[in-house]
Amino acid sequence: MKIFIDSADIGEIREAAEMGVIDGVTTNPSLVAKTGRKFEEVLQDICDVVDGPISAEVIATDAEGIVAEGKKLAAMHPNIVVKVPLIADGIKAVRALSQEGIKTNVTLCFSAPQGLLAAKAGATYISPFLGRVDDIGGDGLELVAQLVTIYGNYDFDTEVLAASIRHPVHLVRCAEMGADVATIPHKVILQLLKHPLTDIGLERFLEDAKKIPG
């Protein structure tokens, strides 16, 4: 399973990259806005730190505009993946971009039929937002499971990129189901590492190490 970090904060991204646990990065306009920095500068910094797929989201919502913006973003660095919203014009743009060999991440997926159409259009990744489905009383993990099954049934090349992951159990369940990728916030990466018995055990070992002669 590939793990991406869902962040535009270069400090967080650098720290996760140094741990050697991330294969790529996803960003979105809300995450970039939080940095207070220019989009292009943030993207350039991320490309310098991580050698893997880096999703950059378009702002245009018409097919022509999405394609034009997507081409500009893709020209910035070979690792850039153009993130496109799951709307009719987005799907048209995904078809056009994929025909030109430009990778896409179709974002804001909340249903299996939406995901099926994204794969038909040639999306490189589909991003089901499982946490946001849970937020409105749905079952986000079920959506991930449906997409894994549907893509598997027909050998679609589109990879399931589980997004909007809120806690370690989401990640573990996605891994069990065979999601290709999970994108997770920095906070959740740290939660994944944490176990109280590790901390207690280490404290004891370090205390006992002091008693070893020599």
Say which residue the tokens 């990129």 belong to: 161
Kindly provide the b/e burial profile for residues 55-83, where b requires at least 16 CB atoms within 10 angstroms of the residue's own CB. Answer: bbbbebeebeebbebbeebbeeeebbbbb
Q: How far is the CB of 122 from ligand E4P (least distance, A)?
A: 19
Residue 131 lies near ligand E4P (rule: CB under 6 A): yes
21-80: contacts with ligand E4P (CB under 6 A): 26, 28
Question: Which among 33-41, 63-71, 112-120, 127-135 is the span making contact with ligand E4P, rule CB under 6 A?
Answer: 127-135
Closest CA to 56 of 37, 17, 82, 77: 82
CA angle 16, 132, 150 (to 5 degrees): 90
Question: Which secondary structure element, helix H or strand E, spans residue 126, and what is its range?
Answer: strand 125-128
Residue 83 appears among annotated catalytic residues: yes
Residue 104 lies near ligand E4P (rule: CB under 6 A): no
> Which listed residue (79, 104, 107, 158) binds ligand E4P by CB under 6 A?
107
> Which listed residue (79, 114, 124, 164) binds ligand E4P by CB under 6 A?
164
178-197: contacts with ligand E4P (CB under 6 A): 183
